[in-house]
Amino acid sequence: MSTAGKVIKCKAAVAWEPKKPISVVEIEVAPPKAHEVRIKLVATGICRTDDHVLTGEIKMNFPIILGHEGAGIVESVGESVTSFKPGDKVIPLCVPQCGKCSVCKTPEGNMCDKIDFFEPRGVMYDGTSRFTCKGKPVHNFVCTSTFSEYTVCHVDSVAKIDAAAPLEKVCLIGCGFSTGYGAAIKTAKVRPGSTCAVFGLGGVGLSVVIGCKSAGASKIIGIDINKDKFPAAQELGATECISPLDFKKPINEVVFDMTDGKGVDYSFEVIGHTDTLIAALASCNMNYGTSIIVGAPPSGTEITISPTLVFTGRTWKGCIFGSLKSKDDIPKLVSDFMAKKFCLDPLITHILPFDKINEGFELLRAGKSIRTVLLFGDEKHTRK
Ligand code: PAD
Ligand code: ZN
Ligand code: ZN
């Protein structure tokens, strides 16, 4: 029986307030309005950014349905939707691409005016939510909310992908993989033969490593305080891995020692700490080095640096979603994945049924997982 045009009751993980576990409860998902699509999620990854909201480091409106690294199938479409139809495989876009704002029209820009991250409203464009729980509205998260069996997105926040794509893997292209890979390929534009240092070897940092390797970097130094991350980093292309805890001197000095006193050409901070942001900046060459901020710094934090660090010529820049144009680039990355240009398996350490979402967050916090993929539906749930 078709569900189009009807309210769907389904399971979702609702975060009621910061610093509390999320609860999987029944919610109601309203039909999509004009220019919106309703999506049945098949899989979603858990990204550290979701956890930053739960810990209160990133401020959002509660109650909220988090999740922004998902993949699913269009269930129904609202009025005036011509580019999607039921059955299409899609990835919700945490960074929209409306195609009309000045940023979308700028070749290098990707932070579309419709992004709902820095002054979050947590509702659709018309100011209302499509989610209710026991009759009360629940906010959405960065226009995606993939921790729900069904979600509703504006067409600006959805990309149609290859019908043959395995959704339980390409969901990572919805955030972590693309953010890291794009940071190396598009933001930094890593050159063949160059040297790189990657601070933080979680799902996003390892994706930076994949990007640096595919760009032809000759030296990729992986840096993490958790040595359990080193084998995956080496498998993906890190030429050496170090822990700051093994050295008495500052880690940027260690990086200089490892690069004949020059510093790396490109450094990436993929943790989201203010001290490592400065260490990463100081690790790149003082004149022609570039340091990229990828990790999300906690809301409201400030840092003080010596201006000399940048005055001598270093470039310091950040990126949202690896500077990628989401709607254009995500389908291309899925095609590249299908053409075996990169592999996502090493990033997926755990696969759990959606109901075990809190276990997935515990694995992330304990440093035991890289990415946990949560599966909706009846797929075989195995822990890798
Ligand atoms: P993660 O928690 O899986 O990885 C972070 C890694 O950093 C872990 O392996 C930690 O052990 C390591 N780490 C922690 N402290 C230190 C330290 N002092 N020195 C060295 N290593 C350390 O997170 P993730 O890979 O999912 O995300 C990484 C960051 O990127 C996080 O801040 C997230 O919010 C941010 C992010 N940004 C964007 C964007 O668009 N800019 C998108 C997605 C994620
Ligand atoms: Zn993310
Ligand atoms: Zn736009």
C-alpha 215/C-alpha 260 separation (Å) is 22
pLDDT at 10 over 90: yes
DSSP letter at 191?
P
Which ligand ends up closest to the CA of 199?
Answer: 1
Q: Is the pTM of this model over 0.75?
A: yes
- 180-320 architecture in CATH? 3-Layer(aba) Sandwich (3.40)
C-alpha 80/C-alpha 270 separation (Å) is 40
For tokens 């999987």, the residue is: 24
**Average of per-residue pLDDT across 208-231:** 98
Distance of CA 140 to the CA centre of its chain: 16
Residues 97-153: pLDDT tens digits? 999 999 999 998 999 999 999 999 999 999 999 999 988 999 999 999 999 999 999
Residue ranges covered by each domain of the chain:
8-174+344-375, 180-320
Q: Which helix (H) or strand (E) holds 25?
A: strand 23-29
Q: What's the CA-to-centroid distance between 57 and ligand 1, angstroms? A: 13
C-alpha 370/C-alpha 134 separation (Å) is 35
Does the beta carbon of 89 sit less than 6 angstroms from any atom of ligand 1? no
pLDDT at 382 over 60: no
- Which pair of structure tokens corresponds to residue 167? 């959704």
C-alpha 123/C-alpha 116 separation (Å) is 9
Tell me the CATH number of domain 8-174+344-375, given options 3.30.420.40, 3.90.180.10, 3.40.50.1390, 3.40.50.300. 3.90.180.10
Does the beta carbon of 276 sit less than 6 angstroms from any atom of ligand 1? yes
For ligand 1, atom 3, the nearest C-alpha belongs to: 202
For ligand 1, atom 31, the nearest C-alpha belongs to: 295
Residues 233-269: pLDDT tens digits? 999 999 999 999 999 999 999 999 999 999 999 999 9
| Whole-number average pLDDT of the chain | 96
Name the residue of 66, 186, 204, 254 whose CB sits within 8 Å of the most ligand 1 atoms, as the mutation to test its pocket.
204
Model confidence at 383, pLDDT cuts 50, 70, 90, reads: very low
Task: Check if 8-174+344-375 and 180-320 are the same fold.
Answer: no
In this structure, which long-range contacts are made by residues 226-230, counting pairs with CB atoms below 8 Å and at least 24 apart in sequence?
226/201, 226/367, 228/367, 228/368, 229/201, 229/202, 229/367, 229/370, 230/201
Contact in structure between 265 and 203 (CB atoms under 8 Å):
no
Q: What's the CA-to-centroid distance between 115 and ligand 3, angstroms? A: 8
So what's the pLDDT on residue 381?
46
Q: In this prediction, what percent of the chain has a pLDDT beyond 70?
A: 98
Residue 176's nearest CA partner among 41, 348, 341 is 348
Residues 187-211: pLDDT tens digits? 999 999 999 999 999 999 999 999 9
So what's the pLDDT on residue 345?
96
Which ligand ends up closest to the CA of 144?
Answer: 2
